[in-house]
């Protein structure tokens, strides 16, 4: 089943609780929260205090995407604030395996994220420990950028890597996802789709979510007879 995770980066920051309700009422399962530190990426966005204030307003899964240097220094604040999933960039720490353990020890699910320029091998040793792998399909930092097609091969390879390891690891994609690019990423194996501008910028949010979710895709194993 495909999970839709609207990114509140494209929402009205003056009315975040209402903006979250709007997309969950329209069928979204997760709320994707983009945390930027002005160092790993140029802008500064949302801190743990905002997540804590939003937590009592929604039952949705809070999917926190940390685009920050030294993520290990931030995990506890976001876990305490009520994050359900905490995803960090492998480019931002020398101790990714330990960060996963830290996230789990605080009762959250752990995700590992890859920039478009980072090879899949950077997370090969982490897949069996992580709950999700996030493949960035734009360079992190801004909403509304163009989908980078070359990441489709990475998603596909990741799908098979997870299968081979018999790991329980979701594949999330983030950046430039809309009704068209959604088809390709779902075919490649992604099951959690982040979308900011394509959802919050749509005239009909429920329709946009439905279009991005699309029709269910059945993946065939290589050793299965068709
Ligand atoms: C990019 C963020 C994304 C962003 C996606 O740095 O991680 O979550 O909000 O926005 P769209 O869907 O507009 O590309
Ligand atoms: Zn994101």
Quick: pLDDT tens for 109-125.
999 999 999 999 999 99
Residue 224 lies in a domain: no
Q: How many domains does the chain have?
A: 1
Q: Which CATH number fits the domain that encloses residue 83?
A: 3.20.20.70
**Cα 137 to ligand 1 centroid, rounded to whole Å:** 9
pLDDT band at 226 (very low <50, low <70, confident <90, very high): very low
**Cα 40 to ligand 2 centroid, rounded to whole Å:** 13
**Cα 85 to ligand 2 centroid, rounded to whole Å:** 12
Please tell me the residue having the least CA distance from ligand 1 atom 7: 140
> What pLDDT does 223 receive?
59
Please tell me the residue having the least CA distance from ligand 1 atom 1: 140
Residue 44 lies in a domain: yes
Residue 11 lies in a domain: yes
CA–CA dist 37, 220 (Å, integer): 41
- Residue 10 alpha carbon, nearest atom of ligand 1: 9
Taking only the tens place, the pLDDT of each residue in 9-45 is 999 999 999 999 999 999 999 999 999 999 999 999 9
pTM: 0.96
CA–CA dist 202, 4 (Å, integer): 15
- Three-state secondary-structure class, residue 141: coil
CA–CA dist 93, 114 (Å, integer): 12
**Which residues form the domain of 7?**
3-213
34 counts as catalytic: yes
Q: Which two tokens stand for residue 215?
A: 């029709």
What average pLDDT does the chain have?
Answer: 97
pLDDT band at 220 (very low <50, low <70, confident <90, very high): confident
Residue 92 lies in a domain: yes
> What pLDDT does 219 receive?
86
Contact 98, 66 (CB under 8 A): no
Residue 225 lies in a domain: no
Taking only the tens place, the pLDDT of each residue in 83-103 is 999 999 999 999 999 999 999
Length of the chain in residues, anyone?
Answer: 226
Which of 147, 195, 196, 201 is the pocket-test mutation for ligand 1 (most atoms within 8 Å of CB)? Answer: 196
CA atoms within 13 A on the CB side of 104: 12
Helix-strand-coil split of the chain, %, nearest 5: 40, 20, 40
CA–CA dist 215, 218 (Å, integer): 10
Residue 220 lies in a domain: no
Closest ligand to 10 CA? 1
174 counts as catalytic: yes
CA–CA dist 87, 30 (Å, integer): 13
**Cα 144 to ligand 1 centroid, rounded to whole Å:** 7
DSSP tag of 126: T
Give the other-Cβ count within 10 Å of 161's Cβ: 18
Residue 219 lies in a domain: no
- Residue 147 alpha carbon, nearest atom of ligand 1: 14
CA–CA dist 156, 184 (Å, integer): 10
Taking only the tens place, the pLDDT of each residue in 155-211 is 999 999 999 999 999 999 999 999 999 999 999 999 999 999 999 999 999 999 999
- Three-state secondary-structure class, residue 35: strand
CA angle 89, 43, 143 (to 5 degrees): 75
Residue 22 lies in a domain: yes
CA–CA dist 125, 167 (Å, integer): 12
Catalytic residue among 63, 131, 174, 184: 174
Which string of b and e fits 185-215 if b means at least 16 CB within 10 Å?
bbebbbbbbbbbbbbbebeebeebbebbbee
Identify the residues whose C-beta falls under 6 Å from ligand 1: 7, 9-10, 32, 34, 65, 138, 140-145, 174-177, 194-198
Catalytic residue among 34, 63, 131, 184: 34
């Amino acid at each position: 089943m495909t999970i839709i995770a609207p990114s509140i980066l494209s929402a009205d920051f003056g009315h975040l609780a209402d903006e979250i309700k709007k997309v969950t009422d329209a069928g979204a399962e997760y709320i994707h929260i983009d945390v930027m530190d002005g160092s790993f990426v140029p802008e500064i966005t949302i801190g743990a205090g905002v997540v804590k204030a939003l937590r009592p307003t929604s039952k949705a899964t809070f999917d926190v995407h940390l685009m920050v240097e030294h993520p290990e220094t931030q995990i506890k604040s976001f876990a305490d604030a009520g994050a359900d999933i905490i995803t960090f960039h492998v480019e931002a720490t020398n101790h990714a395996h330990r960060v996963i353990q830290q996230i789990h020890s605080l009762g959250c699910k752990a995700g590992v994220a890859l920039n478009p320029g980072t090879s899949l091998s950077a997370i090969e040793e982490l897949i069996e420990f992580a709950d999700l792998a996030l493949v960035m399909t734009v360079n992190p930092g801004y909403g509304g950028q163009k989908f980078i097609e070359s990441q489709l091969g990475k998603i596909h390879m990741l799908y098979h890597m997870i299968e081979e390891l018999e790991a329980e690891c979701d594949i999330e994609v983030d950046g430039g996802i809309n009704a068209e690019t959604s088809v390709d990423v779902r075919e490649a194996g992604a099951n959690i789709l982040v979308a900011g501008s394509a959802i919050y910028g749509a005239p009909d949010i429920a329709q946009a979510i439905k279009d991005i979710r699309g029709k269910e895709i059945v993946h065939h194993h290589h050793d299965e007879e068709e």
